[in-house]
Amino acid sequence: MNASAWSMLLEGAWVTLWISGVSIAIGVVAGLLLALVRLARIPIIDQILVLYISLARATPLVTLTLFIFLSAPNFGIQLDRNLAGILALTINTTAFNAEIWRSAFGNFSREQREAAMSMGMTPWVTFRRIMFPQLMITSLPGLVNEMSFLIKGSPAIAVIGIVDLTRVTNRISAVTYEPLPPILVACALYMAIIGCLVWLQRIAEHRANRLAE
């Protein structure tokens, strides 16, 4: 491969990284908020959220991306391709993250909450100082797995014309008639991105274990 091909692959990797990164950041926070709302057990809202989570988890990313991008103009909304891609990835990952957080809340010790409340802590202080640090560590493996799945599923956004890493790989292969080199480079770049996530997870878990000792 020549220098131009390498440059295209790196640009494609950057597009994949920033679109996935924005979607992950929003999805983790939004998933936490949805889990908290579901814990409130408000019947109508809970049923709406269950429906959303079920549909978002069951819909393939390619289908969801196409639906958002192609249906938006019917409602008078003109979405930029990148924004449509971010929206599709965010809707998908928020649903999965909500279930990860909800599971962590369900496994949290009720005795710790009751002890904190008996000491005069408000629900917000109890959540911020007692619950959230433990929930974050408990949920971290599941959250990182979901981040990895999202990055690996992000080539779905290429269906609406976003030039991500996978789309760049296809373009180079079509021009050079040598598909193997760009595919190998793309695989290495995906592995590097996900490897960084796993590395950060291990660092966070190591520090948490040291603080717990």
- All structural domains of the chain: 3-212 (1.10.3720.10)
Q: What is the pLDDT of residues 20-59, one digit of tens each?
A: 999 999 999 999 999 999 988 888 999 999 999 999 999 9
| Res 39: pLDDT | 86
Q: What is the pLDDT of residues 93-149, one digit of tens each?
A: 999 999 999 988 877 777 777 777 777 777 777 777 777 778 888 888 999 999 999
Q: Is the pLDDT of residue 211 over 60?
A: no
Q: What is the pLDDT of residues 160-172, one digit of tens each?
A: 989 899 999 998 8
3-state secondary structure the chain: CCHHHHHHHHHHHHHHHHHHHHHHHHHHHHHHHHHHHHHCCCHHHHHHHHHHHHHHHHCCHHHHHHHHHHHHHHHCCCCCHHHHHHHHHHHHHHHHHHHHHHHHHHCCCHHHHHHHHHCCCCHHHHHHHHHHHHHHHHHHHHHHHHHHHHHHHHHHHHHHCCCCHHHHHHHHHHHHCCCHHHHHHHHHHHHHHHHHHHHHHHHHHHHHHHHHC
The pTM of this model reads 0.89
